């Protein structure tokens, strides 16, 4: 597609529920990233995929968070047993040349998650 597409744009869920957030990266981009942005903060890295595999998941806060990218394109971020502290904007990004110096990463508009 023309840009990184994320759905849903907004999600309100009850504490303890399961949530899935979807990301469709720019066509042809092999690298895909998930970030989380809390109010008044900069985005924080969660996980990076190169193709189908998670090459770096050091930013996932705990085992309630999981992400997949089974065919090397679309990715889903899954959050189990949601907590109010999970409320944030979840940003997906993709890039074409991971590992290249100064590689440009392109961001989607984000999925705003509110846990009540």
Site of interaction with other proteins (CB under 8 A): 3-4, 31, 33, 35, 40-45, 48, 50, 55-56, 59, 91, 93, 95, 98-99, 101-110
Per the CB < 8 A criterion, the answer to whether 91 and 5 are in contact is: no
Q: How far is the CB of 99 from other proteins (least distance, A)?
A: 6
Nearer to other proteins, 18 or 97 (CB): 97
Can you list the alpha helix ranges (DSSP code H) found in the chain? none
Q: How far is the CB of 18 from other proteins (least distance, A)?
A: 26
Nearer to other proteins, 14 or 39 (CB): 39
Q: How far from 41 is each of 23, 37, 64, CA to CA, in Å?
A: 22, 6, 22
Q: How far is the CB of 17 from other proteins (least distance, A)?
A: 26
Nearer to other proteins, 82 or 94 (CB): 94
Which of 32, 22, 13 lies closest to 86 in space, CA to CA?
13
């Amino acid at each position: 597609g023309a840009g990184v597409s994320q759905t849903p744009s907004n999600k309100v869920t009850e504490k303890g529920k399961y949530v899935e957030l979807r990301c469709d990266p720019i066509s042809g981009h092999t690298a895909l990233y998930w970030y989380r942005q809390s109010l008044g903060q900069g985005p924080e890295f969660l996980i990076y995929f190169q193709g189908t595999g998670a090459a770096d998941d050091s930013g996932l806060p705990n085992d309630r968070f999981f992400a997949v990218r089974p065919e090397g394109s679309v990715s889903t971020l899954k959050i189990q047993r949601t907590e109010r502290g999970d409320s944030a904007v979840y940003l997906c990004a993709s890039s074409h040349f991971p590992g290249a110096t100064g590689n440009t990463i392109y961001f989607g508009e984000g999925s705003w998650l509110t846990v009540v």
